Chain A
Amino acid sequence: MTRALLALIIAGVIALPSSAFAETALDTRMKALEEELRCLVCQNQTLADSHAPLAEDLRREVRELAVSGKSDAEIKEYLVARYGDFVLYNPPVKATTWLLWFGPFVALAGGGIAWWMILRRRRAGAEDDTPAEADPASAGIARARTLLDERPEI
């Protein structure tokens, strides 16, 4: 009895994955795709995270499109045609988003250039000052030396 039950359980476990895996491949693809899409109702959530009714509808739509053989890019295109670029969590790189994409790097470069210029000016200033600043010390040493040299022999 126990053995029969065990065999049944094992058989069940072995039989399960084939169907479960088929589901999982689509599931993981859907999950990844939904992570890249924005829920338009709760705008800071992805489609995967949102429980809004519209998000559920869109998930259903996305899944149906995927099942019908549409690629991820085609599905995204489908949604962009209806909701605009905003539906993509990653804004596409185009003329209107250049500031968004490259602005931080421009700011970084600007900061870097300013920093470099300040450093250079400071160093140039330091070099200009070197003789004047070093002078008292070296002049002092020189004077000490001459004084020592000039010291009459005892």
Chain B
Amino acid sequence: MKSLRFVLPLAVFLLLIGFLYVGLYRDPREVPSPLVNKPAPAFSLAQLDDPAKKLGPADMKGQVWLLNVWASWCVSCREEHPLLVQLAQANIVPVIGLNYKDTNALGKKWLADNGDPYKLSVVDADGRVGIDLGVYGVPETFVVDKSGVIRYKQIGPITAEALQQKILPLVRELQKS
């Protein structure tokens, strides 16, 4: 009983420290998406290069693909862009761009200036498809499997680490199945 008097507060204190320690390494900006492991929301949007043509998740059925949400006004998109260009050169997985709340002219200019890693980009000028996808911080990247189910969501820029350790292994695994 006497020892409990010291052990109990110590235990509570250590528990608190444990919570705070874990909290140090968690990013409150990263809100887990409820869309992971659910079918990608259906949309059909005009293509950036050819507005007469449309594209949606239905057209990508049967292959694993990435959906990358980007905009010319988005600063951290520049951060991940070289990685996307490399990924496109490696030709591992098609990347579809979602040009989010941007103008076509600025979007095209941005791709001309920075390189175009996308198989093609579609235009979501008013951000409605973005809302359906639960986009809240551009850039965001979705990994979509052959049956059109979202398997992973990267919030914020893709890092080399995330690409090598999460995205690419997942893509390879999904491509096999």
- Chain A residues with a Cβ under 8 A of chain B: 40-41, 43, 53-54, 57-58, 61, 80-84, 86
Contact B35 A82 (CB under 8 A): yes
Contact B134 A84 (CB under 8 A): yes
> Interface readout for B17-48 with A: 1 if CB under 8 Å, 0 if not?
00000000000110111110000000000000
Question: Within 8 Å of chain A (Cβ to Cβ): is B137?
Answer: yes
User: In the bound complex, what is the Cα–Cα distance between A151 and B111 (angstroms)?
Assistant: 117
Contact A86 B132 (CB under 8 A): no
* Residues of chain A with a CB closer than 8 A to B132's CB: 82
Nearest-neighbor residue (CB-CB) of A64 within chain B:
B128
Contact B29 A43 (CB under 8 A): yes
* Residues of chain B with a CB closer than 8 A to A82's CB: 34-35, 131-134
Contact B31 A86 (CB under 8 A): yes
| Contacts A41-B137, A43-B28, A53-B101; A84 near B127 (Cβ below 8 A) | no
Question: How far does the Cβ of A112 sit from chain B's closest Cβ, in whole Å?
Answer: 15
User: In the bound complex, what is the Cα–Cα distance between A17 and B127 (angstroms)?
Assistant: 34
Main SS of the interface on chain B? Answer: loop
Query: When the two chains form the complex, which single residue of B34, B130, B136 contacts A80, counting CB atoms closer than 8 Å?
Result: B34
Question: Number of contacting residues on B, CB 8 A?
Answer: 19
Contact B34 A40 (CB under 8 A): no
- Chain B residues with a Cβ under 8 A of chain A: 28-29, 31-35, 101, 126-128, 130-137
Query: When the two chains form the complex, which single residue of A53, A54, A58, A84 contacts B31, counting CB atoms closer than 8 Å?
Result: A84
Query: When the two chains form the complex, which single residue of B101, B126, B131, B133 contacts A58, counting CB atoms closer than 8 Å?
Result: B131
* Residues of chain A with a CB closer than 8 A to B134's CB: 82-84
| Contacts A43-B28, A53-B101; A84 near B33 (Cβ below 8 A) | yes
Nearest-neighbor residue (CB-CB) of B31 within chain A:
A86
Contact B127 A54 (CB under 8 A): yes
Nearest-neighbor residue (CB-CB) of B73 within chain A:
A53
Question: How far does the Cβ of A111 sit from chain B's closest Cβ, in whole Å?
Answer: 11
Nearest-neighbor residue (CB-CB) of B41 within chain A:
A82
Question: How far does the Cβ of A16 sit from chain B's closest Cβ, in whole Å?
Answer: 32
Query: When the two chains form the complex, which single residue of A61, A81, A83 contacts B136, counting CB atoms closer than 8 Å?
Result: A83
In the A-B complex, list the 4 residue pairs whose CB atoms are closest, starting with the nearest.
A40-B136, A82-B134, A84-B34, A86-B31
11 more A-B contacts (CB under 8 A) besides A57-B127, A83-B33?
Answer: A40-B137, A43-B28, A43-B29, A53-B127, A57-B126, A57-B128, A57-B130, A82-B131, A83-B34, A84-B32, A84-B33
